[in-house]
Amino acid sequence: MENRETWKTHSGMILAMLGTEVGLGNIWRFPYLCGKHGGGSFLVPYLVLLIGVAMFAMIAEWTLGRHTKRDPLGAFQRIGFPFGRDVGAWGIIGPFFLYSYYIVITAWVLFFVLASMAKLYFGVDAEEFLVNFLGSPRVFVFHAGAVFITSFVLAKGVQRGIERACRFMIPTLFVLLIIVVVRSVTLPGAAQGLEFYMRPRWEGILTPQAWVDALGQVFFTLSLGMGAMLIYGSYIKDKWGIPANALACTMGNTSSSILAGFAIFPAAFALGMAPSAAGSDTFGLTFLVLPQVFEKMPGGTGGIFGAMFFLLLAFGALSSAISIQEPSIAWLRDEVKWSRKRAATTTGVILWLMGLPFVLNGFVKAGGSFGPQVAMLAKMDTVIGGFALPLFGLVAVLAVGWVMKEAGYQEINRNARHKLGRWVMFWMRWVVPAFILGLFAAILLKTIFGIEFADRNENMIAGGSLSAAEDLGRWSTLSGRLSMSDDGVVITSSDEDIASGLTQWMEVKPKALYRMSTSFAAPMADEGATAVVMVAYLDLAGELLDSDEQRIDLVEAAGSGEVVTVAFETQAPEDSYYANASIGVYGRGQAVFGETAFISVFEPKGIGASTVLTMAIVCGVVWGGALGGINYVLAVERRKERAARAGGAAATGGPGE
């Protein structure tokens, strides 16, 4: 397309690409998934899929965009892809669905920036504070403000809007993130968080669910499969090579994810806040656990570091939201011939309206627990992040590998200093689709046929199952205790059994973190059903030291026809020697079940040799690749510019411009 906008500078292009990629996916979603899968167990599949799959999907989207100079709808049509306009339509429609809930989370972040500065959540219950915000009129104000910011920047254009905003936000984001990381890892007791985050747990690495979640995450964090990278690729100048820039942006993006983990986990563990929310709730780690972490920071610095953290998260969220809105604006400019300001204003209004159901879902359910207020938003994140983004990314890879063929190979290597060999086409045609389709098959087996994958990334030290027969019209109690005996796991269902000595206490490690996880089928209850999970600790002499318990309303948490998982983490007191865990379900109605109750242990404090080695490898590869790659592509561009000026000077007989 003639007269198409392009990035003004090479550095501006890289920062804009990083602005697209670095956002909530890095600083909110990545730590949540790391916590869910046991830290190091998630890093290996994440990095493998990042380099082996996602980077090539990025190359494919850039190639398709620069070759056609069109929006997604026009790009697939121009190369002759079967049903090209229909396929490309997802690149226009899909971002609307993604933006509609993404901008709502962005609004929360903006609120927490101000709340941190004013220390509004200090001294109050974290969940109650968030629930009250979601049920107040302020949430509508911040939602509208977030939409206005992104639309205003986009109305300014590629160079004066997107590029200029990212030149400020992305470097500032990294500076703030590094400051928070330094504070986090220097807190007393931070070593336990580093051990959790970086120690490889090989039994967890082999868990299929970790790979399924990692696939969705690499596409989410690199903004692939939503049309944004295809559009941004169409703004890349022909003189800039694609492969080295793709590597630099991939590693630069990943460095922010790794840094986010270093910012969150050491501080959470150091201040006694185990990442239980990360393992059981999509938003809990960022909006429930971290505010408590900041509140507990010594020296009254929590408000400052809380504001810094949420400000850098806001920069990342806004820069990514800008890129999500851009495909629809590009389509209106390319196909409908609207001005950029008109397109930005119109799409902003539409996207604001599409986000209102998610805002209203939290507003009308105010006064209850946090879970129901974000249920709709969490489900949308699962569908978009786990299914839609990898699927559209796969289509882009197939378009370059099987439709563009030689033209695709030539476009990939156009003006690239170090060109990729023919193997890249084999990789895009066969290897990348095999990865994506294989993991899609795993998702379908789980979703459609009910085949579950084990998600027990720690060392299980007790386990078993509990069940209750149908109970109509009267109150029933189902309880059981799990412990270790000479014969293995003992599960009892009555206090009489416990009193008779059939259950023994299990030994625990002082200051170790323990997790109990229990899944309950959704009860069809007339008056509700409550699950109670409790762990009690004794010292060597058998005296009770402490106990932790959690209660959850199963009917409210589950909804219709679903399964509720109660994940409960607790830290053993310093002088503890024995522990016993109990599970109880109290309800009235029909079919209250408890299944797969188990206790697992995290290794306690200290950093092992495997953790140090993993940290060195991950940090060296990711940050070395990011800094080296970005420096390399910019150095090449500077050499080209000097050569062009020298050539101009020779041709005119004067100094080059």
How would DSSP label each residue in 245-276? HHHHHHHHHHHHHHHHHHHHHHHHHHTT--SH
Q: Please report the pLDDT score of residue 451 as a whole number.
A: 52
N- to C-terminal Cα separation, the chain: 28
Cα–Cα distance list, 350 to 153, 356, 637 (Å) = 17, 10, 40
Task: Say how far apart CA 219 and CA 225 lie, in whole Å.
Answer: 7
- Among residues 74, 77, 58, the alpha carbon closest in space to that of 14 is found at 58
pLDDT winner (highest mean) among 48-57, 221-230, 458-467, 608-617: 48-57
Please state the separation of Cα 457 from the chain's center in Å.
18
Answer yes or no: are the C-beta atoms of 278 and 193 closer than 8 Å: no
Mean pLDDT of 110-139: 89
Listed by start position, the domains of the chain span 10-452+610-642, 459-601
pLDDT band, very low/low/confident/very high, at 518 (cuts 50, 70, 90): low
pLDDT band, very low/low/confident/very high, at 605 (cuts 50, 70, 90): very low
Task: Say how far apart CA 519 and CA 536 lie, in whole Å.
Answer: 20
Higher pLDDT, 585 or 538: 538
pLDDT band, very low/low/confident/very high, at 655 (cuts 50, 70, 90): very low
Q: Using the 8-state DSSP alphabet, how is residue 184 labeled?
A: H
Structure tokens at 9: 């500078």
Higher pLDDT, 149 or 33: 149
Answer yes or no: are the C-beta atoms of 524 and 598 closer than 8 Å: no
Which class for 418: exposed (0-12), middle (13-18), buried (19 or more C-beta within 10 A)? exposed
Percent of the chain at pLDDT exceeding 70: 66
Higher pLDDT, 617 or 462: 617
Task: Say how far apart CA 314 and CA 162 lie, in whole Å.
Answer: 16
List, in sequence order, every residue forming a beta bridge with 109; answer none if it has no partner: none
- Convert the pLDDT of each residue in 196-240 to its tens digit: 788 776 666 777 778 888 888 899 888 898 888 998 899 898 888
Other Cβ atoms within 10 Å of 431 Cβ, number: 15
In the numeric block, the tokens 């920036």 are attached to 113
Structure tokens at 167: 């030149």
Whether domain 459-601 has CATH 2.60.120: the reply is: yes
- Among residues 220, 261, 192, the alpha carbon closest in space to that of 42 is found at 261
| φ, ψ (nearest 5 deg) of residue 455 | -130, 50
| φ, ψ (nearest 5 deg) of residue 612 | -60, -45
- Convert the pLDDT of each residue in 152-207 to its tens digit: 988 888 777 777 888 888 888 888 888 888 888 888 878 777 877 887 766 667 77
Task: Say how far apart CA 207 and CA 81 lie, in whole Å.
Answer: 36
pLDDT score of 532 more than 70? no
Q: Please report the pLDDT score of residue 502 as a whole number.
A: 33
Higher pLDDT, 128 or 273: 128
Task: Say how far apart CA 577 and CA 543 lie, in whole Å.
Answer: 10
pLDDT score of 91 more than 90? no
- Among residues 542, 544, 546, 540, the alpha carbon closest in space to that of 514 is found at 546
pLDDT score of 601 more than 70? no
- Among residues 396, 3, 6, the alpha carbon closest in space to that of 234 is found at 6
Higher pLDDT, 42 or 480: 42
Mean pLDDT of 417-422: 88
Task: Say how far apart CA 67 and CA 600 lie, in whole Å.
Answer: 52
Structure tokens at 421: 């060999």
Q: Using the 8-state DSSP alphabet, how is residue 522 labeled?
A: P
- Among residues 69, 132, 75, 143, the alpha carbon closest in space to that of 108 is found at 143
Torsion on CA atoms 284, 228, 431, 251, rounded to nearest 10: -70
pLDDT band, very low/low/confident/very high, at 424 (cuts 50, 70, 90): very high
Structure tokens at 325: 């809105």
Task: Say how far apart CA 376 and CA 360 lie, in whole Å.
Answer: 10
In the numeric block, the tokens 């200290």 are attached to 606
pLDDT score of 408 more than 90? yes
Higher pLDDT, 641 or 599: 641
Q: Please report the pLDDT score of residue 628 as a whole number.
A: 62
**Superfamily in which the 10-452+610-642 domain is placed by CATH:** Amino acid/polyamine transporter I (1.20.1740.10)
Task: Say how far apart CA 266 and CA 179 lie, in whole Å.
Answer: 14
- Convert the pLDDT of each residue in 33-71 to its tens digit: 887 777 777 888 999 999 999 999 999 999 999 999 988
- Convert the pLDDT of each residue in 546-561 to its tens digit: 777 777 666 666 555 4
Q: Give one DSSP letter per residue of 387-445, joined into a string.
A: IIHHHHHHHHHHIIIIIITHHHHHHHHTT-SS---THHHHIIIIIHHHHHHHHHHHHHH
Confirm whether 10-452+610-642 and 459-601 share one CATH topology: no
Q: Please report the pLDDT score of residue 654 as a whole number.
A: 41
pLDDT score of 470 more than 80? no
Q: Please report the pLDDT score of residue 265 as a whole number.
A: 85
Higher pLDDT, 2 or 114: 114
Q: Using the 8-state DSSP alphabet, how is residue 298 labeled?
A: G
pLDDT score of 648 more than 70? no
Q: Please provide the average confidence, as pLDDT, over all residues in the chain.
A: 74
Task: Say how far apart CA 381 and CA 283 lie, in whole Å.
Answer: 11
Q: Please report the pLDDT score of residue 586 as a whole number.
A: 56
Task: Say how far apart CA 162 and CA 19 lie, in whole Å.
Answer: 9
CB contact set of 498 (below 8 Å; sequence gap of 6+): 481, 492
pLDDT band, very low/low/confident/very high, at 139 (cuts 50, 70, 90): very high
pLDDT score of 489 more than 80? no
Answer yes or no: are the C-beta atoms of 295 and 302 closer than 8 Å: yes
